Chain A
Amino acid sequence: MNNVDAFIAALPGIGRGILVTLELTLGGAVFAFLIALALGLATRSRLLLVRGATRIVIEFFRGTSLLVQLFWLFYVLPLLGIRLDSLFCGILALALNYGAYGAEVVRGGISAVSIGQFEASRALNFTSWQRMRRVIFPQAWAQMVPPFTNLLIQLLKGTALATFILLHDLNFFINELRRSTGDTLFAYGIGLVIYFVIAYLLTLGMNAVEVRAKNRIAAGPTLREVMGLKPPKARSQIDQTPRSRMTGVIS
């Protein structure tokens, strides 16, 4: 039971590693979301210049590979006199990369809202900001949650690259455990299971967000109804949801 002893000895380290991984994931996700919102809304700008510039930014960060961006921020930026903390470096790279993907989600969600909603908002004389905030976005949001869930899981998986900019994340401590036990299968088995559990919990959380978003636009049961396993009539709707969000699509 050497492995068990080694595992117990490694627990504090793994705990710290999980913390760093979570910091990267949540920090990256929050900034990615903000970037996605800004870029996604800018793709709908009336000004050609804004639209064009946004397109370039999005394609740039989608096209140049996450690891390259990470290395660029870590190795090259200091040469330009900007020295970022490793953790912030990781968060920034994740945010820029997944923010660019998220921008497409925002754009798609908004364009999925029916044109009649835009027209009715105009007939009621809302300003374009009121229209977006009160009418369009709440409806688009329900559409955006499942693809955002995919992106969040992709982002979590991307955090494992942080080891290569010398961050002591979960990935790093898995390797430490392998070294101390000499048992690859054991160390990586545990490590992958931890990643899987985190992914699972994030998915559960996002499912709750989705149920709420759909309920808000009265297209589904309330969260309480879903948790209570009660209503047979709402069944079909709940059944489809977990499936759609598991499909990790990134391109």
Chain B
Amino acid sequence: MKTIDINNECDIETLRAGDAVSFSGVMYTARDAAHKRFVEALEKGEKLPIDLNGSAIYYAGPTPTREGEIIGSCGPTTSSRMDDYAPTLMDAGLRVMIGKGKRNSAVVESMIKNKAVYLIAVGGAAALIKSRITACEDVAYLDLGCEAVRKLTVRDLPLLVAIDSKGNSIL
């Protein structure tokens, strides 16, 4: 299987469902609780703690960081739990979602409209993914513990294009 190297600047509209990609760049962690806060803030017209425009969000909540390490084990969580929130975030600029498992039709429709892409990481490959994370910075909602928003820099993160910006899916 051919692997395409991608980063935050690449044209995601060229990616096709089924492409294996190797991602090097920046992504933000956010899962259930952070999504709820993002959407509540947007509904109130408040500014978000991250700039969503063109951003990548990774659905993950790592284990605690051990002394001397960058981050704990950090695999993807089930994306469908974010389905109720994802369209609102895409309308606000989110372009790349990374997680595991299927998405609902509302998410796919919003992806087509907003030219966004959904990538999957291997569920349960948390130690391997941890080894590809080169930097981690706390960003917001630290009271949420593992559900806090963190800025991750990754190198050669193995992902698969599950749903492309045209709505084609391999799931």
B is bound to A: no
